[in-house]
Amino acid sequence: MILDNSRIHHASQLKPFLDKHKRLHLVLLPNYSPKLNLTEGLWKWVRQDVINNVYFKKFYLIRLHVSKCMKRLNATPQKVIDRLLVRL
């Protein structure tokens, strides 16, 4: 499992769990490496497509637009993969 280097991923409660589940290996990304974290690229894309320079009067409208964007992205997974991997 690839994770960012957040402190929670180094928590002491994690070691017993990893010892019990030997097949699970954590690969921690270097500190301050958002370009390697594909989730960061996904959220940047969503922000650009949905909320950039847009005023929403109600919070539920943001959720509605983000939900529509995520459904659209889920319908074209190869496009998402291609776009996010270009960042690397």
Helix (H, G, I), strand (E, B) or coil at 31: coil
Encoded amino acid at 65, one letter: H
Mean pLDDT of the 14-35 span: 87
Q: Is residue 53's pLDDT more than 80?
A: yes
How big is the chain by its Cα radius of gyration, in Å?
17
Give residue 84's pLDDT.
87
Give residue 6's pLDDT.
80
